[in-house]
Amino acid sequence: MSEHESPIKTPKQLIIVVVLSFIVPIVAIVLLTMYIGAAPMIGAGSDALSPEATAQRIKPVGRVVTAPEAGEVVAAAPAGAVVIRTGSQVYAAACAGCHTSGVLGSPKIGDKAAWAPRLAKGYEALLTSSLKGKGAMGAQGGGAYSDAEIGKAVAHLANSAGGNFTQ
């Protein structure tokens, strides 16, 4: 065989070489993608797509507890006891958000000038406004606190501005 001769001598050999030059790379690419795709895909030290991580991301933000679950420690109250919060506790939880800073025109705690006309109307009028809602303040009756607890919060808030209500 001389230096300028082709190793392909017949048309049959030419057809085989052409067909194999297309088939071999395609088969190699398919096998490589199957090999890479078979392994679990986890990004650089991350398990963000694991079932546990997904469950953690979509879990509820809060839950309503009607009875403690096994293993939960709960402060014990006597059987059948009704826990009534104080006026300052209810104020801190439900009222302070607006009445501390005076949001939307609500009278600030301890502001005697703002509370004077309201105190003149009496405790019952203040309690009714709290339970039914007034202006931007929503109704508190039937909410997270009992009417008695709302009454204690009203007395606490009014007394801070010079009222003399007992609850």
70-114 tens-digit pLDDT: 565 555 555 555 677 888 888 888 888 888 888 888 888 888 888
Residue 115 placed within a domain = yes
20 against 8, higher pLDDT: 20
Residue 7 placed within a domain = no
Residue 119 placed within a domain = yes
CA–CA separation, 121 and 129 (whole Å):
11
CATH code of 144's domain: 1.10.760.10
Residue 138 placed within a domain = yes
How far CA 55 is from CA of 40, 49, 51, 107, in Å, comes to 19, 10, 6, 45
Residue 133 placed within a domain = yes
Cβ–Cβ < 8 Å for 150, 130: yes
Residue 40 placed within a domain = no
Closest C-alpha to 150, from 81, 83, 91, 82: 91
The model's pTM is 0.51
Helix ranges (H only) for the chain are: 11-38, 51-58, 87-90, 96-99, 112-121, 123-132, 147-159
Please give the pLDDT value at position 31: 95
**Tokens for 154?**
């009203």
Q: Please state the domain count of the chain.
A: 1
Residue 19 placed within a domain = no
Residue 107 placed within a domain = yes
Please give the pLDDT value at position 41: 66
**Helices (H), strands (E): how many in the chain?**
7, 0
Mean pLDDT of all residues belonging to the chain? 81
Q: Which domain holds residue 146?
A: 88-159
> Mean pLDDT over residues 130-145, rounded?
77
Exposed e or buried b per residue across 7-30, where buried means at least 16 C-beta atoms within 10 angstroms of its C-beta? eeeeeeeeeeeeeeeeeeeeeeee
